Amino acid sequence: MKKGVALVWFTTDLRLRDNALLHEALQKHESIVPVYCFDWEAMQEEQFGFKSMGPRRLQFLLESLADLQHSLLGFNAHLQIIMGKAEEVIPRIAKELKISEVFAKKEVGSYELSAQASVAQSLNAIGVEWTTTSTSTLFHPNDLPFGVRDIPEVFTDFRKRAERDANVRREFPVPTEIATPDLKPTLLPSIESLLVEQPAADSRAVMTFKGGEQEALKRARYYLLDSGCLSNYKETRNGLVGADYSSKFSPWLALGCISPRTIYFMVKEYEQLHRANDSTYWLIFELIWRDYFRFAMKKHKAKFFKKGGIQNRPPKTSDDKNALLSWINGKTGVDFVDANMHELRLTGFMSNRGRQIVASYLCNDLKLDWRFGAAYFEEQLIDYDVASNWGNWAYLAGVGNDPRGNRYFDVAKQARQYDAASEYRKLWLGIK
Ligand SMILES: Cc1cc2nc3c(=O)[nH]c(=O)nc-3n(C[C@H](O)[C@H](O)[C@H](O)COP(=O)(O)OP(=O)(O)OC[C@H]3O[C@@H](n4cnc5c(N)ncnc54)[C@H](O)[C@@H]3O)c2cc1C
């Protein structure tokens, strides 16, 4: 028998399709209250001198929330967007609306975990049940052939065993009905009301990223099913210019506007319709990297934010502030690095190849503390994801999950290989 009212706490699962939280809550309860806590203070907090969220990601988040709000409205359900800290908002609403159970996603980042711990404690004090569920990975953690504590330290070991022993679970469908108590609509803040200047568009950007589940599904259908891009992904994925050299799914995946399982099953659909090849496999391979960083963070927790990383081996670094500023502003004098840093600052996106090169340059050539780079990326990237960002940075700094230790990228060689005709550098540095 279904019981009482549940609260579904949306954080980075801003979608209706394949949403385990929503599914479980609707299965168990007569009605649900969908809530998003808009913690503006936390979004502006600084670490290493950088904000946790820059204007481009903020805009993408607002668009994603608007889309979720609109989708829920189709069910006559009002998304409750409440300004404030989850630690205060969730227990308060739970009390006011006589909620019997709160559903939230399982988190891995230190900040998110500590916020959840205090929400859970306050709920416990008022007798409200607290349930967390895994929602953001391709493989469900319970299907892996090892527990979190035994997750291999080397990606290839993880991937091979996961591929051999775990199946990708079926997606949860979009609900057919969402019953809610009588809730008043709430207002989504506008970027102007937050006193943030609308970020300027740059015509050289790889594409215009618009937040929300509908846009995510549109991009996924285009890239995976309609355009034929997927069939060459393995050959094009190290590209630098344009929308289609890689999927550009990352911003939507980061906010959970789409789930990796939805992407996986679209790839399978393509394979059924056409054929499987190295490229169709490689897209899934990349999603497994994403899983890996998330599980590794679950295992090592706050170590990922320490200078010595999970290896507990802090590198010797310089604190040359001017060197850091030259990197940020694309003024190192190394054209390939500078071009990438301009792209990031002016658009909020950078290719995977570019990210590896500029991160290696910061760690190995400028010999700066890698966490300044990670924090700057956190502020700038539209697709910022705690595990993917800090995990990749630690990996490149030689303090993460890499059996080979420090990864050095020879920038001149990389430029010859990946930008032989200087197309990318010309685009961003304006060289004729
Ligand atoms: C220093 C550094 C920082 C990074 N920070 C982030 C971040 O904050 N958020 C983020 O989503 N990715 C991050 N990445 C990973 C990767 O660069 C981006 O996911 C990718 O460039 C996004 O473009 P795409 O969606 O077109 O990727 P595609 O090549 O089309 O890959 C498909 C998807 O696979 C996943 N993926 C691909 N490569 C990686 C990888 N190396 N690690 C984890 N997942 C991967 C992403 O979800 C991506 O959307 C970082 C990489 C480096 C080297």
**Reduced to 3 states, what is the DSSP secondary structure of residue 213?**
helix
* Residue 371: inside a domain: yes
- CA gyration radius, the chain: 22
Cα(371)–Cα(389) distance, rounded to whole angstroms? Answer: 10
Cα 227 to ligand 1 centroid, rounded to whole Å: 21
Clarify whether residues 290 and 265 are in a common domain.
Answer: yes
Clarify whether residues 403 and 312 are in a common domain.
Answer: yes
Clarify whether residues 39 and 120 are in a common domain.
Answer: yes
Q: Is the pLDDT of residue 182 over 90?
A: yes
Clarify whether residues 347 and 376 are in a common domain.
Answer: yes
* Residue 219: inside a domain: yes
Domain boundary among 284, 300, 316: 300
Cα 392 to ligand 1 centroid, rounded to whole Å: 9
| pLDDT, position 2 | 83
| Average pLDDT of the segment spanning 375-404 | 94
**Alpha helix stretches (DSSP H) within 74-109:** 86-96
Atom 29 (ligand 1) nearest CA? 246
Clarify whether residues 324 and 292 are in a common domain.
Answer: no
* Residue 353: inside a domain: yes
Atom 49 (ligand 1) nearest CA? 250
Q: Which of 207, 267, 388 to mutate to test the pocket of ligand 1 (most atoms within 8 A of CB)?
A: 388
- Residues contacting ligand 1 via CB (< 6 Å): 237, 246-250, 253-254, 283, 286-287, 289-290, 293, 351-352, 355-356, 359, 377, 381, 383-385, 388-389, 392-393, 396
Cα(375)–Cα(176) distance, rounded to whole angstroms? Answer: 41
Q: Where in the sequence is the domain holding 287, given as residue range(s)?
A: 213-300
pLDDT tens digits for 102-123?
999 999 999 999 999 999 999 9
Clarify whether residues 263 and 314 are in a common domain.
Answer: no
| Average pLDDT of the segment spanning 37-47 | 94
Cα 286 to ligand 1 centroid, rounded to whole Å: 8
Of 82, 18, 78, 8, nearest to 252 by C-alpha is 18
Cα(104)–Cα(72) distance, rounded to whole angstroms? Answer: 18
**Atom nearest to 293 CA in ligand 1:** 43
Clarify whether residues 288 and 319 are in a common domain.
Answer: no
Q: For the chain, what is the domain count?
A: 3
**CATH number where 231 lies:** 1.25.40.80
**CATH number where 340 lies:** 1.10.579.10
Q: Which of 266, 290, 371 to mutate to test the pocket of ligand 1 (most atoms within 8 A of CB)?
A: 290
| Average pLDDT of the segment spanning 380-384 | 98
| Average pLDDT of the segment spanning 328-357 | 98
| pLDDT, position 280 | 98
Q: What is the mean pLDDT of the chain?
A: 96
pLDDT tens digits for 118-146?
999 999 999 999 999 999 999 999 999 99
Atom 37 (ligand 1) nearest CA? 286
Q: Is the pLDDT of residue 432 over 80?
A: no
